[in-house]
């Protein structure tokens, strides 16, 4: 819902609001692990905790990948601004022909959405795995009571 507000309010995708989304990811993973901890399951090992957290952060990563696809296909100005900035940097270097800069821009235009979705998935998976591992280690050592 918070990421959707970025879309509706036309906030930049990489803004300070993104940190709130990461915090919500962390909260969601910890919440699922604490819920599992409080369940009546007898065998509460690190692996079981990690499995529970894994299911949570994978779903979040897939939802964020879908959101990223929608966001970047409807907000092409973000892609165009990034490509224009890259073209300016290449021109400022002085060792690229105008045709090379145009070809580079065309190549970036083709791979922009797959690249940003890959980065999104990877960042959410890494963040989720770290939070899950830390919380699972803590909760698997914690005694019930």
Q: If pLDDT is split at 50, 70 and 90, which confidence band does 19 have?
A: confident
Residue 128 clears pLDDT 90, i.e. is over it: yes
pLDDT of residue 12: 55
pTM to 2 decimals? 0.76
- Give the mean pLDDT of 22-37: 91
Q: If pLDDT is split at 50, 70 and 90, which confidence band does 145 have?
A: very low
Per-residue pLDDT tens for 57-85?
A: 999 999 989 988 998 888 888 889 989 99
Q: What is the mean pLDDT of the chain?
A: 85
Nearest to 117 by CA among 87, 83, 73: 73
Domain borders along the chain are 2-141
Label each residue of the chain as H, E or C.
CHHHHHHHCCCCCCCCHHHHHHHHHHHHHHHHHHHHHHCCCCCCCHHHHHHHHHHHHHHHHHHHHHHHHHHHHHCHHHHHHHHHHHHHHHHHHCCCCHHHHHHHHHHHHHHHHHHHHHHHHHHHHHHHHHHHHHHHHHHHHCCCC
pLDDT of residue 141: 87
């Amino acid at each position: 819902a918070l990421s959707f507000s970025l879309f509706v309010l036309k906030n930049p995708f990489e803004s300070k609001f993104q940190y709130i989304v990461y915090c919500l990811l962390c909260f969601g993973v910890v919440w699922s692990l604490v819920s599992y901890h409080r369940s009546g399951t007898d065998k509460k090992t690190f692996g079981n905790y990690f499995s529970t957290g894994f299911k949570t952060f994978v779903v979040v990563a897939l939802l964020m990948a879908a959101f990223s696809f929608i966001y970047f296909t409807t907000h092409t100005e973000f892609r165009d601004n990034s490509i224009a900035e890259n073209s300016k940097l290449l021109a400022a270097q002085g060792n690229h022909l105008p045709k090379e800069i145009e070809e580079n821009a065309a190549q970036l235009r083709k791979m922009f959405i797959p690249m940003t979705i890959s980065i999104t998935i990877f960042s959410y998976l890494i963040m989720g795995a770290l939070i899950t591992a830390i919380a699972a280690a803590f909760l698997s050592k914690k005694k019930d009571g």
